Amino acid sequence: MINKENKTIFDKLLIHDHEELIFCNDKKLGLKAIIGIHDTTLGPSMGGTRMWNYATENDALKDAINLSRAMSYKSSLAGLNAGGGKAILIGDINLKSKKYIERYAGFINDLGGKYWTAQDVNMTTQDILWIKNVCPYVIGLPKEYGGLGDSAIATAYGIYVGMKAAIYQITGNNSLENKKVCVQGVGKVGGKVVDYLIKEGAKVYATDINNKNLDNIDEKNVQIIEKDNIFDVHYDIFSPCALGGVISMDNLKKLNCKIIAGAANNQLEDDINVPNELLKKDILYLPDFLINAGGIISCYHEQINQIDLQKVMQMTETIYDKAIDVFKYANENKITTHSAAMKIAVERIERNKKKSN
Ligand code: NAD
């Protein structure tokens, strides 16, 4: 398969030294899957399965490659003994059936634990349970099936402690009381972030395109704003908890805030221009893969068989110190926080690679 830039698959794998790509096919079931394993130096690769009706196979390949690599960095930075993986099911969600999912689970099983899957976009708890019928390499299970339940609990806590670290960095005090915080997207994670903020006395603004989710918000303590008006207000913290790509060069012309700290994966439109612009504008950016690691911390504890939410929350709390370390590294090396977080993640992997050689 040759992609648009005329790079072969091996060219693509060499860029960030991916270990494996596994292509899975079942003609009768219409099953086409790609499992990306970026790096297993720190431990077995972990990351969710995503199903998407991609315009081209190259788009799917790109996701398998980029998302598995991002998982390596997230786990490394969080201090987990886990590597990075991600699986992509290509096609319309109507293709899914018990047979289809169980066949897919067979492919994961063949890897013998080198890749552990969890729920991601367009995958349901039922799908995860069907996978579990066939193979043990599944994490992010409901409590009644021996898992730790909703990983958004830990993810939201990580976002909250990340915000506190950032406000400390700027003011020397980590209280969020009276700080103006806008949460974009009040779903499973954003809704819980709002609860933490209200409890601490922050001035909370929230927006969502789904009114049902806004109905769950305590309107006495939260100012609801239209999604198109979010840039009209000055915030201490802007918290993207909806979509990726929201921090773009265009939006940065309008966004008026001191800190960006949210859960959405891949918040930055690109890896170079946007972080540089944030630095220029003196906006303190908390890399998403640093502060949204609560979910993978929770899944990891299932993988090592420690079904203990308290331990998960304790480890998630260390995101505060890790954020302070990233700010320090960025300042000392005069680089963006995004680059600093990447470098710290890669350095840990490289140190361990050397040890095992
Ligand atoms: P969710 O689907 O429960 O919530 C997302 C919310 O964003 C929904 O309420 C949706 O209506 C809203 N939304 C979508 N587009 C919007 C827009 N343009 N403006 C305002 N609101 C909009 O998802 P979640 O589990 O809360 O995850 C939120 C983000 O965090 C996602 O990007 C996800 O990938 C990332 N994340 C989640 C976890 C986790 O543990 N759930 C872990 C790591 C990262």
pLDDT tens sequence across 107-139 = 999 999 999 999 999 999 999 999 999 999 999
Instruction: Answer whether residue 1 shows pLDDT above 60.
Output: no
Q: Give tens-digit pLDDT for 262-288.
A: 999 989 999 999 999 999 999 999 999
Q: Cβ(66)–Cβ(10) under 8 Å?
A: no
Q: Read off the pLDDT band of 52 (50, 70, 90).
A: very high
| CATH code 3.40.50.720 region(s) in the chain | 152-293+320-346
What's the rounded mean pLDDT across residues 293-313?
A: 98
At 2, the pLDDT band (50, 70, 90 cuts) reads: very low
Centre of ligand 1 from the C-alpha of residue 238, in Å: 15
Q: Which atom of ligand 1 is nearest to the CA of 154?
A: 40
pLDDT at 215: 92
For ligand 1, whether the C-beta of 185 sits within 6 Å is yes
Q: According to the model, what pLDDT value does residue 213 have?
A: 93
Strands of 284-285's sheet, edge to edge? 222-224, 203-207, 180-184, 235-240, 257-260, 284-285
Q: In whole angstroms, give the CA distance from residue 95 to residue 101.
A: 10
Q: Which of 74, 212, 217, 243 to mutate to test the pocket of ligand 1 (most atoms within 8 A of CB)?
A: 243
Q: Is the CB of 155 under 6 A from ligand 1?
A: yes
Phi, psi of 84 (to 5 degrees): -110, 130
Query: What pLDDT shows up at residue 244?
Result: 87
Contact 50, 67 (CB under 8 A): yes
Q: Is 74 a catalytic residue?
A: no
Q: Is the CB of 188 under 6 A from ligand 1?
A: yes
Q: Is the pLDDT of residue 3 over 60?
A: no
pLDDT exceeds 90 at position 6: no
Residues with Cβ within 8 Å of 347's Cβ and at least 6 positions away in sequence, in order, are none
Average pLDDT value for residue range 176-203: 97
User: Is any atom of ligand 1 closer than 6 Å to the C-beta of 14?
Assistant: no
Give the Å distance between the CA of 152 and the centre of ligand 1.
Answer: 10
Give pTM, 2 decimals.
Answer: 0.95
Kindly report the protein residue whose alpha carbon is nearest to atom 1 of ligand 1: 187
- Residue with the smallest CA separation from ligand 1 atom 43 is 292
215 lines ligand 1 (CB under 6 A): no
Any atom of ligand 1 within 6 Å of the Cβ of 208 = yes
User: How far apart are the C-alpha atoms of 245 and 291, rounded to whole Å?
Assistant: 16
Residue 307 reports pLDDT greater than 70:
yes
Considering 32, 86, 114, 180, which one is annotated as catalytic?
86
C-beta separation of 128 from 138 below 8 A: yes
Q: Provide the mean pLDDT of the chain.
A: 95
Average pLDDT for 333-345: 97
For the 152-293+320-346 domain, the top CATH level (class) is alpha beta
267 contacts 245 by C-beta, under 8 angstroms? yes
Tell me which residue has tokens 């039922």: 126
319 close to ligand 1 (CB < 6 Angstrom): no
Cα gap 124→344, rounded to integer Å: 33
What spacing in Å lies between the alpha carbon of 190 and ligand 1's midpoint? 7
> Mind giving me the DSSP string for 57-122?
HHHHHHHHHHHHHHHHHHHHHHT-S-EEEEEEEES-GGG--HHHHHHHHHHHHHTTTSEEEEE-TT
What was the pLDDT predicted at 142?
A: 96
DSSP H or E segment with residue 257: strand 257-260
Residue 111 CA to ligand 1 center (angstroms) comes to 31
Q: Which atom of ligand 1 is nearest to the CA of 264?
A: 32
- Cβ of 288 closer than 6 Å to ligand 1, yes or no, is no
CA distances 183 to 67, 84, 160, 275, 338, Å, are: 24, 28, 11, 20, 21
| C-alpha distances out from residue 15 to 8, 259, 339, Å | 11, 32, 17
| Mean predicted confidence (pLDDT) in 243-250 | 92
CATH code of 4-71+83-138, in short, is 3.40.50.10860
CA-nearest residue for atom 15, ligand 1, is 242
C-alpha 1 – ligand 1 centre gap (Å) = 33
**Where are the domain boundaries for CATH 3.40.50.10860 in the chain?**
4-71+83-138
Nearest-atom index, ligand 1, CA of 186: 9
Residue whose Cα lies nearest atom 20 of ligand 1: it is 208
